[in-house]
Amino acid sequence: MNAEDREPSSTEMPASNRKRPTWNQLRSKLETVGFKPSRRLGQNFLVDDGLCRVVAVAGGVEPGAIVLEVGVGLGFLTAHLLELGARVIGVEVDQRLVPIARQWLEPAPDLELVLTDVLAGKHELAPAVVERLPAKEPWSLVSNLPYAVASPVVALLARLPNPPQSMTVLVQHEVAERLCAREGGHGWGPLGARLAMFYEGRILRSVGADGFRPRPKVDSSICRLERRADGPALEPVELRAYDALATQVFTQRRKRLRSPLSGLCGGLAAADHWIAEAGIDPTLRVEELAPAALLTLVRSPAGAEFRERFAESPPGPR
């Protein structure tokens, strides 16, 4: 008997009356509603109950904590978050899955299921999600993130006016490396630069394909990003300019910084002046550029023209 086909053992089950159906039982329900996993939606269910527990516990969830879960699926991770006492805002895009999850998760007064795509566009979170997140209370993200949306979801959540205090996610290993990367390291790029300014990231453990159904063709990792206590206070215009600068300079990550900057400020001479005024080593390559150096470029007098391009932009991602 395969691990995913057996009943969870007493040590795996939450200490409540909620009983997780077997994978065969759930698969039968999926077939009844005509469900077939979508690669576009990244529908790979984490059926290993032990790993679901690992993700939930890694999220540092305490009783009463507000947790956003993106990609509820069949509710496997959700059940563990509820058992830990979380107040869960669960987002699921597939209307065929929500009733199946509800059927075995309920009664669950601390669960709000939101049927929507988490993204309203490439650079915008769904209003139905944003309006349910706390305006002032601390909250966190704990999710087996669909591969297709992992990077934009994390990046956009990090830029909310009240961002998550932590983000614990199971994602494709390559994405985990980018989320947790630091300057000069493997995977360092615009995504890492946007996150490292305010978050400290680390990969907790790798996860093979056998724990999923259907099995993905890539390995995954659990990673955790925690909000930095020493993150800088940025004006909205500075933050928008910082993100734009990171995105643009990393298009030439192996070149010296003066090369991509020259296209933003009117030539190499202007780029050299901008770098010198910011006190940055002129031989520095983009892949070695730390978040603090990027911010120095944004705030330097020579960067004023670039910074002013974002003065009238809408305030923050929604």
CA of residue 88 relative to chain centroid, distance: 16
Q: Are 250 and 193 in contact (CB under 8 A)?
A: yes
162 annotated to bind ligand: no
Percent of the chain having pLDDT more than 90?
A: 88
Residue 14, pLDDT > 80, answer no
Q: Which two tokens stand for residue 149?
A: 């949306």
Instruction: Please give the Cα distance from 13 to 15 (Å, whole number).
Output: 6
**pLDDT band, very low/low/confident/very high, at 17 (cuts 50, 70, 90):** low
Q: Return phi, psi of residue 96, to 5°.
A: -75, -25
Residue 50, pLDDT > 80, answer yes
71 annotated to bind ligand: yes
Q: Is 69 exposed, middle or buried (0-12, 13-18, 19+ CB in 10 A)?
A: buried
Domains and CATH numbers, the chain: 3-227 (3.40.50.150), 236-308 (1.10.8)
Residue 6, pLDDT > 80, answer no
Q: Return phi, psi of residue 246, to 5°.
A: -60, -45
pTM over 0.85: yes
Instruction: Please give the Cα distance from 280 to 95 (Å, whole number).
Output: 52
Residue 191, pLDDT > 90, answer yes
What are the tens digits of pLDDT across the range 194-236? 999 999 999 999 999 999 999 999 999 999 999 999 999 999 9
Q: Which among 310, 183, 177 has a CA at the least distance from the CA of 235?
A: 310
According to the model, what pLDDT value does residue 13 have?
Answer: 35
Mean pLDDT of 33-54: 93
Residue 184, pLDDT > 80, answer yes
According to the model, what pLDDT value does residue 208 have?
Answer: 95
| C-alpha to C-alpha distances, 159 to 129, 152, 225, nearest whole angstrom | 14, 11, 14
Lowest pLDDT segment from 103-107, 288-292, 313-317: 313-317
According to the model, what pLDDT value does residue 26 have?
Answer: 95
Residue 187, pLDDT > 50, answer yes
According to the model, what pLDDT value does residue 317 have?
Answer: 45
Q: Which among 108, 76, 80 has a CA at the least distance from the CA of 92?
A: 76
| CA geometry: angle 235, 231, 287, nearest 5 deg | 95
According to the model, what pLDDT value does residue 31 have?
Answer: 95
> 113-145 burial, b for 16+ CB within 10 Å, e for fewer?
bbeebbbeeeeebbeebbeebeeeeebbbbbbb
According to the model, what pLDDT value does residue 156 have?
Answer: 98
Residue 296, pLDDT > 70, answer yes
The larger pLDDT score, comparing residue 3 to residue 293, is at 293
Percent of the chain having pLDDT more than 70?
A: 92
Residue 313, pLDDT > 90, answer no
Of all helices (H) and strands (E), which one includes residue 179?
helix 173-180
What are the tens digits of pLDDT across the range 146-174? 988 999 999 999 999 999 999 999 999 99
What are the tens digits of pLDDT across the range 238-258? 999 999 999 999 999 999 999
**Exposure of 46 in the CB half-sphere (CA atoms within 13 A):** 31
| Neighbouring-strand partners of residue 167 | 141, 225
Residue 318, pLDDT > 90, answer no
Q: Is 41 exposed, middle or buried (0-12, 13-18, 19+ CB in 10 A)?
A: middle
Tokens 């915008």 found at: 124
